[in-house]
Structure 1
Amino acid sequence: MENMSQEGCQSPADTSLNTHKTQRSNSSKTPIQILHEYGTKSGNLPVYVMEKAEGEAHQPSFVFSVTIEDVSCTGQGSSKKAAKHQAAEAAIRLLQLDPGIVNSPVMSESNGVAAETNNLSNSVGLLQELALQRGWRRPEYTVLIEAGPVHQREFTVTCQLESLSEKALGNSKKGAKKAAAEKMLAKLQNLSGCSEITWMPKPSVRFENLRNSSAEKITLLRRNPLSIPNTDYIQMILELSKEQGFEVTYFDIDELTVNGQYQCLAELSTSPVTVCHGTGISCSNAHNDAAHSALQYIKIMAAIK
């Protein structure tokens, strides 16, 4: 009887622990996945930050914090993943999430134009919070194109975050801005290789650095003219960007010029960001023209005074 009593009785702590284990066993999702799905649905993706890494190589200890909505929790573990799991688990408890009701959002699009949905409602704010938390420059949004009849306007907006750029369409400036921010968040996750954003930006390349550089490509740019026919300026600026550590992104403009030529923009991840326009009888020619304009601008800005 005594053995049966001992085995059949559980303390409140044991009951709570078993309930928690049962909830976890009923769901094959990890705490990180559950919190990510909740964040995707609510438009508030969780942001993980490593607060501390200490201990010996054979016995490390990591502390991670996670912020989602107005909740901030920390977790500790012998690996980064374990610490993130602990932090996510704490956030799930505070948010009182039931893994069974976490569903993926439904995204709607029409003719390639991102619809304004509640799923995008906080993407702009979340991206800005992420930038502030990481010490990045704030995201910059630029309206590239405004087209279509008055009753059915379409806007093309770019979102620039450090060296990254994303472009999106919307039937209002606000909708296009939100869609561009959402695409930027998705890109950050893709570059991180997981649901947590761990991507780190490359250092910005300032024009002062270009002026002070004596590397081969920038020196050749200063010395040689940029008016040689049939020059591959796309390759030229690509080689220069690799040498100096900035990135070049081309954005094709759907509308032709009044002369029927293709248009594009070349965006350089310099500080400040450089955007140059190009036109041509084909997309590749427009890209080459934009690269030529960008090289001319760099040539002027990087001139040694």
Structure 2
Amino acid sequence: MSQEMSQTVITSTDLSPNKDAVPRANTPGKTPIQMLHEYGAKHGKIPAYVLEKAKGEAHQPSFVFSLTVGDVCCKGEGPSKKVAKHMAAEDALRILQVDTAAVSLPVKSESIGVAAESNGHPNSVGTLQELALQRGWPLPKYTMLMETGPPHRREFTMTCAMESLSETAVASSKKAAKKAVAEKMVAKLQSLSGSSEITWTPKPRVHFENLKNSSSEKISFLRRNPLSIPNTDYIQLMADLSKEQNFDIAYLDIDELTTNGQYQCLVELSTSPVTVCHGTGISRSNAYNAAAHSALQYIKIMVSIK
């Protein structure tokens, strides 16, 4: 996203919430965008925002907006479109000498707690996005695994992957499933941090090139031996390999059974690129073993490529 984008004009009447929404301060009040819109409506000078530039990588974007209200022109920059517009509006309010005592400004803190929605409830989707932007991590990846049930009672199963962590949730709509899985991810991050303040740091990802060049015991064993011996504990083999090569393993249960009644799961490895494999079995442990087997086969292929 490093290329400069074509200019887009947005008037301040576009105040609907969107994915770029920023967290508000705990003090009740209006945002700079809302106050400037009210000022413009009162004086017949509706603010116009122009997206001038979008730069940076996908996990660390930066947006630049210019703002014109009457004879006043300002610019704002931020990690999301909404934050950039807020910065421009705040600058315009200062120039116009509008009383901003009641304004709720976007807050950026070094330690992430839980962002709040307008109704005061935790906004876990926003929390994860803000966390990723501040830490320079890839944005959370939401994947719809399956959609089941009759039309009047649909169930949606969604996963959320963030760094080496994965969670899954089921709900009656896609929006509810995304919210539920984000809440589970925030809870996991808080649990790993030991408090409501998220301080957890992921391990560096292990590149396949490093695995390919490794001559350690477990990776060498994987290269030499077939993965077709009956009753092999592939979960333990994977655990031994991950400990030796210093990557994380996360098994993710899929609540829905397969069409023939078997359990199923995913296994995710904190490799680069990320490895995700599927497994099924007559029990949870059998499904885990099948997923570990598939992941080991994939690693074996990747490290054997000349």
TM-score scaled by structure 1?
0.60
Partner-residue secondary structure (3-state), 1:71? coil
How do residues 112-131 of structure 1 correspond to structure 2 at under 5 angstroms? Answer: 119=121, 122-131=123-132
The answer on whether the counterparts of 2:160 and 2:181 sit within 8 Å (CA) in structure 1 is: yes
Counterpart amino acid of 1:132? L
Task: Work out whether 1:191 is the aligned partner of 2:192.
Answer: yes
Give the aligned partner of residue 257 of structure 1.
Answer: 258
* CA–CA separation in structure 2 for the residues paired with 1:196 and 1:264: 30
Can you give the 5+ residue segments of structure 1 that lack an aligned partner in the other structure? Answer: 1-37, 40-67, 75-83, 89-104, 106-116
Give the aligned partner of residue 136 of structure 1.
Answer: 137
Give the aligned partner of residue 70 of structure 1.
Answer: 106
Deviation at 1:213, TM superposition (A): 1.6
Deviation at 1:72, TM superposition (A): 4.4
- Percent of aligned pairs with the same residue? 70
How do residues 18-167 of structure 1 correspond to structure 2 at under 5 angstroms? Answer: 70-72=106-108, 119=121, 122-167=123-168
Deviation at 1:282, TM superposition (A): 1.9
Deviation at 1:304, TM superposition (A): 4.9
For the aligned residue pairs, the C-alpha RMSD in angstroms reads 3.1
Deviation at 1:173, TM superposition (A): 1.5
Deviation at 1:208, TM superposition (A): 1.7
Give the aligned partner of residue 22 of structure 2.
Answer: none
* CA–CA separation in structure 2 for the residues paired with 1:223 and 1:290: 21
The answer on whether the counterparts of 2:205 and 2:272 sit within 8 Å (CA) in structure 1 is: yes
The answer on whether the counterparts of 1:248 and 1:266 sit within 8 Å (CA) in structure 2 is: yes
Deviation at 1:271, TM superposition (A): 2.1
The answer on whether the counterparts of 2:164 and 2:250 sit within 8 Å (CA) in structure 1 is: no
Pair 195,286 (structure 1): closer, same or farther in 2 beyond 3 Å: closer
Pair 167,118 (structure 1): closer, same or farther in 2 beyond 3 Å: farther
Give the aligned partner of residue 176 of structure 1.
Answer: 177
* CA–CA separation in structure 1 for the residues paired with 2:227 and 2:203: 28
Give the aligned partner of residue 266 of structure 1.
Answer: 267
Give the aligned partner of residue 217 of structure 1.
Answer: 218
Deviation at 1:126, TM superposition (A): 2.2
Give the aligned partner of residue 78 of structure 1.
Answer: none
Task: Work out whether 1:295 is the aligned partner of 2:296.
Answer: yes
Deviation at 1:296, TM superposition (A): 0.4
Q: Deviations over 1:16-60 (max 9, x none)?
A: xxxxxxxxxxxxxxxxxxxxxx69xxxxxxxxxxxxxxxxxxxxx
The answer on whether the counterparts of 1:267 and 1:275 sit within 8 Å (CA) in structure 2 is: yes
Deviation at 1:232, TM superposition (A): 0.4
Deviation at 1:262, TM superposition (A): 2.3
The answer on whether the counterparts of 1:145 and 1:253 sit within 8 Å (CA) in structure 2 is: no
* CA–CA separation in structure 2 for the residues paired with 1:161 and 1:214: 30
Can you give the 5+ residue segments of structure 2 that lack an aligned partner in the other structure? Answer: 1-25, 28-103
Deviation at 1:123, TM superposition (A): 2.0
Q: Deviations over 1:44-103 (max 9, x none)?
A: xxxxxxxxxxxxxxxxxxxxxxxx9703479xxxxxxxxx8xxx9xxxxxxxxxxxxxxx
Q: Deviations over 1:241-275 (max 9, x none)?
A: 11112222222323333333222222222222222
Deviation at 1:299, TM superposition (A): 0.6
Counterpart amino acid of 1:235? Q
Partner-residue secondary structure (3-state), 2:238? helix
Give the aligned partner of residue 95 of structure 1.
Answer: none
Pair 152,162 (structure 1): closer, same or farther in 2 beyond 3 Å: same
Give the aligned partner of residue 279 of structure 1.
Answer: 280
Partner-residue secondary structure (3-state), 2:267? strand
TM-score scaled by structure 2?
0.60
- Which segment drifts farther, 293-302 or 276-285? 276-285
Q: Deviations over 1:106-148 (max 9, x none)?
A: xxxxxxxxxxx9735x322221121111111211111123211
Q: Which has the higher helix share?
A: 1
Pair 69,276 (structure 1): closer, same or farther in 2 beyond 3 Å: farther
Pair 71,264 (structure 1): closer, same or farther in 2 beyond 3 Å: closer
Deviation at 1:231, TM superposition (A): 0.6
Pair 189,256 (structure 1): closer, same or farther in 2 beyond 3 Å: closer
Give the aligned partner of residue 79 of structure 2.
Answer: none
Pair 219,73 (structure 1): closer, same or farther in 2 beyond 3 Å: closer
* CA–CA separation in structure 2 for the residues paired with 1:201 and 1:186: 16
Pair 259,169 (structure 1): closer, same or farther in 2 beyond 3 Å: closer
- Which segment drifts farther, 174-183 or 234-243? 174-183
* CA–CA separation in structure 2 for the residues paired with 1:170 and 1:145: 11
Partner-residue secondary structure (3-state), 1:260? coil
